[in-house]
């Protein structure tokens, strides 16, 4: 069952909070960013306190709460803003229902899948918003790398530990999460020299992340096979090639 009324209600509250933010988005300032993030963070905190009562479940919806205002400020069309708000609210619902079901049944694989979906969606928004902020404002490269490291490491830990199947390997998961964070922070440094926009950069970052995460997941399951790994890597590298070929290049003179 992927519907629960209380979860749906909190997702609607999150949606209404986004509508309030949109209503006051005429002049985008630092103050607007701060109160928007604070409003969404309070909503997600109260929601997770009501749904699971566990602080660790707060991180994934918080990731969406922190990144959404930044991306909203990059969208000019009112229609596109409303579409984006609906999509984010659906992602938040996925995070809420996944955390709620895991609280009730720690090994629920449907809940794990919902959590992973929300995590990948949240990471894409995270990479896009942080890199977009880096491109549009005076934002130091070291801060970009630190944020890529922190967000990636925490999402990796939450998703790898979800479901309880790898709970006995907690120390290895912590190590792998840190390594994934370091990998993406180094990628952030590399892509800062690339002539691409924030959406292309976020897509490439997410593809790299998923390839590495998938290898670690199968390694933790003792189900890592070289042939399968090479096939997956070839497929995702071909996706990156298509993406780089089709995207406009942002030449900086």
| Mean confidence (pLDDT) of the chain | 84
How does pLDDT run across 177-232, given as a tens digit for each residue?
999 999 999 999 988 888 788 888 888 899 889 888 888 888 887 777 777 778 87
pLDDT for the residue numbered 4:
77
What is the domain partition of the chain in residue ranges?
Answer: 1-104
How does pLDDT run across 110-164, given as a tens digit for each residue?
888 888 888 888 899 999 988 988 888 778 889 999 999 999 999 998 888 875 5
pLDDT for the residue numbered 2:
67
Closest by Cα among 75, 76, 7 to 44? 7
Closest by Cα among 230, 199, 224, 184 to 135? 199
pLDDT for the residue numbered 250:
64
Alpha carbon dihedral 80, 81, 86, 90, in 10-degree steps, equals 100
Paired tokens of 205:
């970052």
Q: E-assigned strands of 157-239?
A: none
How does pLDDT run across 68-100, given as a tens digit for each residue?
888 888 888 889 889 999 999 999 999 899 888
pLDDT for the residue numbered 53:
81
pLDDT for the residue numbered 168:
66
Q: What percent of the chain has pLDDT over 90?
A: 25
Segment 246-253 shows an average pLDDT of: 62
pTM: 0.87
């Amino acid at each position: 069952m992927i519907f629960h009324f209380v979860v749906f209600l909190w997702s609607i509250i999150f949606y209404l909070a986004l509508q309030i933010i949109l209503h006051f988005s005429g002049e985008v300032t630092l103050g607007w960013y701060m109160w928007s993030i604070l409003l969404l963070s309070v909503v997600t905190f109260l929601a997770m306190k009501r749904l699971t009562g566990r602080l660790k479940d707060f991180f994934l919806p918080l990731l969406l709460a922190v990144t959404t205002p930044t991306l909203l400020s990059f969208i000019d069309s009112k229609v596109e803003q409303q579409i984006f708000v609906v999509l984010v609210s659906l992602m938040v619902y996925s995070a809420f229902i996944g955390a709620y079901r895991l609280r009730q049944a720690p090994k629920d694989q449907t809940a794990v899948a919902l959590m992973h979906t929300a995590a990948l969606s949240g990471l894409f928004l995270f990479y896009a918003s942080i890199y977009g902020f880096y491109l549009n404002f005076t934002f130091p490269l070291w801060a970009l790398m630190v944020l890529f490291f922190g967000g990636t490491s925490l999402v990796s830990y939450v998703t790898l530990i979800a479901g309880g199947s790898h709970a006995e390997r907690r120390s290895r998961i912590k190590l792998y999460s840190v390594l994934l964070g370091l990998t993406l922070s180094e990628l952030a440094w590399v892509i800062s020299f690339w002539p691409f926009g924030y959406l292309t950069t976020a897509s490439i970052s997410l593809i790299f992340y998923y390839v590495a995460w998938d290898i670690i997941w199968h390694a933790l399951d003792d189900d890592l096979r070289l042939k399968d790994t090479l096939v997956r890597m070839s497929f995702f590298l071909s996706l990156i090639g298509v993406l780089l070929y089709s995207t406009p290049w942002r030449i900086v003179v």
